[in-house]
Amino acid sequence: MSGAHYRIGVLTLSDKGSRGEREDESGRLLGEMIKPLGDVSRYQVIADEPDEIVMMLKSWSDELQLDLILTTGGTGLSPRDCTPQATAAVLDYEIPGMAEAMRAASMQKTPHAMLSRALVGVRGRTMIINLPGSPKGVRENLEVLLPALPHGLAKLQGDPADCARP
């Protein structure tokens, strides 16, 4: 991993979790897995409400200027799953290869991976990554991205080094 220390936010989208009816295992796991990159300086569990998700993503990106926001939950097909739509509404641009890599790796384990609508993209200098809501899905998907995250985050922060390996 890189020697840089990034400011990270973990946002869990869960109706039950926001009401205290379910423990947030996925958010806790994200915090543990991302430690080599930096500190989780913001953590919140909110309901699957598009306006609230948009508000939180904008605030954490624009006001707090976090380097990385990891969301967990709301990426499937159920009527309340709105994380990708809310994320798309705030992104300046997508990083499709990262979302494709998560789905490709997950397809090796389950055909249901093709139903994931997770997005990865950038707002300002903040990378936003949608992850599944289950701890298993979080672990499997974030493991795919971890090798590329230090380089991607460094580039977003203005690293002028060439991308090609010597």
Q: What is d(CA 87, CA 95) in angstroms, rounded to the nearest whole number?
A: 12
Q: Is the dihedral of CA 27, 104, 152, 55 positive or negative?
A: negative
Q: Would you say residue 129 has pLDDT above 80? A: yes
- If one compares 161 and 14, the residue with the highest pLDDT of the two is 14
Bridge partner residues of 70 (DSSP): 10, 129
For Cα atoms 79, 80, 85, give the angle at the middle one, nearest 5 degrees. 95
Q: Would you say residue 82 has pLDDT above 60? A: yes
* Contact of 102 with 144, CB cutoff 8 Å: yes
Q: What is d(CA 52, CA 38) in angstroms, rounded to the nearest whole number?
A: 25
What pLDDT does 79 receive?
92
pLDDT classification of 1: cutoffs 50, 70, 90: very low
Q: Is the dihedral of CA 79, 80, 85, 89 positive or negative?
A: positive
Burial class (CB in 10 A: 0-12, 13-18, 19+), 1: exposed
Q: What is d(CA 77, CA 100) in angstroms, rounded to the nearest whole number?
A: 17
**Domain ranges for the chain:** 6-153
CATH level 3 topology of 6-153: Molybdenum Cofactor Biosythetic Enzyme; Chain A (3.40.980)
Give the distance, in angstroms, between the CA of residue 63 and the centroid of all CA atoms in the same chain: 18
pLDDT classification of 162: cutoffs 50, 70, 90: confident
